[in-house]
Amino acid sequence: MSDHSIPMSAAAIARGVSTGSIDAEILIETCLSRCAQVQEKLNPFTAIYREEARDRAALIKKRIKAGGKPRKLEGVPVAIKEFTPIIDKLTTRGSAALSQNIETFQPVIVDRLESEGAIIIARTTTPEFAHSSFTRSPLFGHTRNPFDPERTCGGSSGGAAVAVATGCVPLAEGTDMGGSVRIPAALCGVVGLKPSLGRIPMDILPTVFDTISHFGPLGRNIEDIRLFMDVVSGPDERDILSQPSPSPLDKTRIDPKTLKLAVSPDLGFFDVDPEVAADFANAVGVLRDAGAVLDEIDLGWSPHMVDAWYDYWCVYLAAAVDDLLDEHREVMDPEFLSLVDRGREMSAVAFRRIDEIRTRQWHAFTGAMAGYDALLCPTMALPAPPLEASEADYTRLDADGRLKGLDMTCLFNSIGQCPALSVPMGMTGGGLPTGIQIIGHRFADSDVLRLGDLFEKMMPWSAPLDTIIAGFAPAAPNPKEESHA
């Protein structure tokens, strides 16, 4: 099998393995070979499960030959974020404090992927406890952007985005508490979905009452994202907030002439890079030229609402690691610890009042969005920053009250019932991807994916990724051993 087999979609791989036109064992060898080369140059993996992937591919091949019923992800290589547990595997969450943590638990999402035939080939990098838009940690170092290795890939699901963009896997799992799927998707030129809250059971946190945390997929096309969601969606008693009956994902094509979309180039207060703004205007123009009605609206939002999400996030992190600080503080990322300390200083009353700000944000959103099918805005205010930049470089207001921020994603975790999808929308003059964000009404996951389909048909984005993938010729497979990357 040629190396060209790896860049195929997950849907095509599953069909090919199920019919025997794709040899699952050769596919996995080619995939593992690519992983080794990409790891050397960009560092997206924390572990590569060579022997287990080979064994699973062999079992799948035998099963199909014996007439086994094909499954939705039959033989599809996927990657799981280092933040997400896999039973009996080292799961560090990017922290030296958990450098010896062998998991005794496996979440619903991993069980569902494996039960539908997916082959987990690797774990992907994350900053410490998924805290940052820059994927780097004291434990695993920097993960680099495939379009420019001197720039960040985004975070916190940065390794996942790189694995997809370079053709190592067609699908990767990520987590999104403030944009951690959509940020790296936009900066690496792939598709990333934050589903509506509870569509995928979230059972990996110390609490099942958290309201900003989501699992979400990263892929190269909407068909694969929808396939991933078909497999992992649905209620489970382990998550009290999981949706009892999530609506089926509608695959019918949208006629752009039936659309009425809200547009916000800056969410009212972000200082957006001129090239990002130009790509966004072009994407909006493509829809308008096709007959859609697009109106620029005022959401009535403010930087204060970003601060509210940030305060919530700091308290979340502080609670998550409080039991580890006395013993492990000295090996933790100083930037991460600054967030933890900010969270520890917040009073219970101040924390409770964050929900009042979120309530005002929600009421402003519903008022502004009345009569519109979805909201469009940039995913990121800037293209990928330099590798050595800091999150703190993107948190200030200028003299005009404009936020010099990086991501435009976290506000949609504060109203997490609204799905948010990032799809590629263009390239800067320097060759860096930009992304457009599609935000739906409550639980309207079908709407954002159907709009993503429309963008994919009208603004094809595969060419830049094909160039990146072609730059990683397969290396010879490594010896048959499981390795920590």
pLDDT at 1 exceeding the cut of 60: no
pLDDT band at 8 (very low <50, low <70, confident <90, very high): confident
pLDDT (tens digit per residue) in 375-401: 999 999 999 999 999 999 999 999 999
Single pTM value for the model: 0.96
Say whether the peptide bond before residue 156 is cis (omega within 30 degrees of 0). Answer: yes
- Is 152 in a helix, a strand, or coil? strand
Cβ atoms of 241 and 198 closer than 8 Å: yes
Mean pLDDT along residues 237-259: 96
pLDDT, mean over the chain:
95
C-alpha 266/C-alpha 270 separation (Å) is 5
Q: Which residue has the tokens 């100083």?
A: 334
pLDDT (tens digit per residue) in 205-214: 999 999 999 9
Domains present along the chain, CATH in parentheses: 10-303+355-484 (3.90.1300.10), 304-354 (no CATH)
Q: What pLDDT score does 474 carry? A: 60
- Is 296 in a helix, a strand, or coil? strand
C-alpha 182/C-alpha 176 separation (Å) is 8
User: Which two three-digit tokens encode residue 424?
Assistant: 């590629």
Percent of the chain with pLDDT over 70: 96
User: Which two three-digit tokens encode residue 351?
Assistant: 């924390």
Q: What pLDDT score does 191 carry? A: 98
C-alpha 149/C-alpha 411 separation (Å) is 29
C-alpha 351/C-alpha 371 separation (Å) is 33
Q: What pLDDT score does 335 carry? A: 95
pLDDT band at 7 (very low <50, low <70, confident <90, very high): low
C-alpha 399/C-alpha 10 separation (Å) is 48
The residues annotated with a catalytic role in the active site are 81, 156, 180
Mean pLDDT along residues 241-255: 96
